[in-house]
Amino acid sequence: MSKVTFKNSTAVFTLDEPRRPNEDALEANLSVEELPYLPWASPPLAVSFEPEKPLTREIPDFPDGGIRAWSVVIGALFMSFGTFGWINSFGVFQTYYEEYTFKEQSASNIAWIGSIQYGLIFIPALLTGRLLDLGHYNIPLAISSAFYIAALFLVAECKTFLQVILCQGVATGFFAGMLFGSTPAIVSHWFLRKRSQAFGVLAMGSSIGGTVLPIATQQLFGKVGFKWSVRAVAFIITFAVIVANLLLRPRLPPSNAKGSLFNWKAFKNPAFTCCVLAYNVTLLGLYVPLIYLDLSGQAAGYSPNFTFYLISIANLASLIGRLSSGVLADKFGALNTLIPFTLIGAVVSFAWPFSTSSIASMVVVSVIYGCATGAFVSLIPSAPARLGGMSDAGSRIGMAITCMAFGAAGGPPLAGVIRTKSGGFDDVGLYSGGVILAGCALLAATRYLALGKWVGKF
């Protein structure tokens, strides 16, 4: 195989010349999203990246199935259940805290607990992604698991609002991020052609957790009280985290890529910068309905015994979005799939406050909303992984996810302020739908910047 040399004002790069199609038909037919995580065989980000004309490489034999590979996916599912499933259950706590524990606090103040969780679960991805690139995974995972489980049990012992913020908001949010941050990258070690399907199964965990845990918590509140409700949920999550620790294992060797924890050079790629901005703007509104579905139903006069199920219905419906988006992304491209699903989420967010006229309409809105948000969560790692070389893919995905913390943390409190000022949920729905719509526009701009045209698979 011959060499091709690229020169610019600062460096010289020598790359293997792509093989002719008749040299290796299998490699020639690989799409960009099928390219594996190859730490040793990718150009730096400064080299031009053409998504529809990937540079071919010697591709190792990926299992793409089998008992060991799928056991890793099952471990990832359990990890998603125990981390994002817990975070997605905060709507039940929002209602409980408003009605019982912290009546003196405003809705926006209480929403900060969930917002801190949503924000902090993304931040550690920067660190865990870099550690994975360097070959450190299972020991940090075990240590973080111990702290996470301890924080969950300590939530039951909190007595003041500040204690709840520090324990449920800060501690469980941060350590959940330490556990989940590198999970998608671990799955990518074992799958190539079926990677999107594997990601879909991984994402099912948060849907199942977000369905089961709120129902269990709500039922236990009335039977055993707050403390033992939290402890019971903590025991369930402990089991899930232990299973994940036993099953999750990296497969590919450490990367030799050098650099600091935060690689600012990645942001020289305008598509990557636009992608990060799009994620943040979208998250300013995406989780707002999930937190306030319960309260909006009660405000319309429905029984709390029914309204709390809306959160579980939305999380259960997200299973459809997570699985279907993975299949569609394999065929049409990640952003080509993500943009329509997110657009549907914007429309449903606009409609949500006006759906309280009947139980049926609220259920329909919850189902469609859940499908849309499920697709977004499932496809988060896809675009950042493609927008640069593969030697720092873990760090780049980590940076993108970490930067999402700003949007995730800021959205619910802003919605709480709007609700307090307006006295209802109509303006909250307009806010949520509006920022999600703006995020869709930025995702479309990301796609154009990456491809250089409006038509193509990305």
- 424 vs 180: CA distance, rounded Å: 35
Cβ distance 178 to 279 under 8 Å?
A: no
Cβ distance 142 to 178 under 8 Å?
A: no
Q: What share of the chain is helix, strand, coil (3-state, %, to 5)?
A: 70, 0, 25
- Both tokens assigned to 269: 């790629």
**Among 82-86, 134-138, 194-198, 205-209, which stretch is predicted with the lowest mean pLDDT?**
194-198
pLDDT, tens digit (0-9, with 9 covering 90-100), for 102-150: 888 887 788 889 888 887 888 888 788 778 877 888 899 999 999 999 9
pLDDT higher for 75 or 107?
75
Give 129's DSSP letter.
H
Cβ distance 457 to 31 under 8 Å?
A: yes
- 390 falls in which pLDDT band (50, 70, 90)? low
Residue 278's pLDDT is 93
pLDDT, tens digit (0-9, with 9 covering 90-100), for 211-269: 889 889 988 998 999 999 999 999 999 999 999 999 998 887 776 655 566 677 778 88
Q: Name residues whose C-beta falls within 8 Å of residue 411's C-beta, 6 or more positions apart in sequence.
A: 115, 118, 283, 284, 285, 286, 287, 288, 432, 435
Q: What is the 3-state secondary structure (H, E, C) of 150-218?
A: HHHHHHCCCCCHHHHHHHHHHHHHHHHHHHHCCHHHHHHCCCCCCHHHHHHHHHHHHHHHHHHHHHHHH
Residue 25's pLDDT is 39
Residue 193's pLDDT is 74
Burial 143-170 (b: 16+ CB within 10 A, else e): ebbeebbebbbbbbebeebeebbbbbbb
Q: Name residues whose C-beta falls within 8 Å of residue 86's C-beta, 6 or more positions apart in sequence.
A: 152, 172, 176, 209, 213, 233, 237
- 79 falls in which pLDDT band (50, 70, 90)? very high
Give 267's DSSP letter.
G
Question: Measuring CA to CA, how many Å separate 156 from each of 151, 169, 176?
Answer: 9, 13, 17
Read off the pLDDT of each residue in 282-299 and give the average, rounded to a whole number: 85
Q: How many other C-beta atoms can be found within 10 angstroms of the C-beta atom of residue 376?
A: 24
What percent of the chain lies above the pLDDT cut of 70? 83
User: Which residue's entry shows tokens 């606090």?
Assistant: 105
| Sign of torsion over alpha carbons 263, 446, 5, 39 | positive
Angle at 434 between CA 431 and CA 440, to 5 degrees: 145
pLDDT higher for 31 or 91?
91
Residue 257's pLDDT is 58
| Sign of torsion over alpha carbons 81, 169, 90, 324 | negative
pLDDT higher for 159 or 292?
159
Alpha helix positions (H), 381-458: 382-386, 393-403, 405-422, 426-451
- 450 vs 458: CA distance, rounded Å: 8
- Both tokens assigned to 385: 């992984």
Q: Of the segments 8-17, 199-208, 348-357, which one has the largest average pLDDT value?
A: 348-357
- Both tokens assigned to 295: 């309260």
- 314 vs 308: CA distance, rounded Å: 11
Angle at 160 between CA 157 and CA 164, to 5 degrees: 65
Q: What is the CA radius of gyration of the chain?
A: 22
Read off the pLDDT of each residue in 364-370 and give the average, rounded to a whole number: 91
Q: Which helix (H) or strand (E) holds 15?
A: strand 12-16
pLDDT higher for 325 or 75?
75
pLDDT, averaged across the chain: 80
- 6 falls in which pLDDT band (50, 70, 90)? very low
**Among 31-45, 282-296, 421-435, which stretch is predicted with the lowest mean pLDDT?**
31-45
**pLDDT value at 195 more than 50:** yes
- 425 vs 440: CA distance, rounded Å: 23
- 389 falls in which pLDDT band (50, 70, 90)? low
Q: Name residues whose C-beta falls within 8 Å of residue 414's C-beta, 6 or more positions apart in sequence.
A: 284, 431
Instruction: Decide the pairing of beta strands 12-16 and 3-7.
Output: antiparallel
User: Which residue's entry shows tokens 């053409």?
Assistant: 50
Domains of the chain: 67-451 (1.20.1250.20)
Cβ distance 371 to 344 under 8 Å?
A: yes
Residue 387's pLDDT is 76
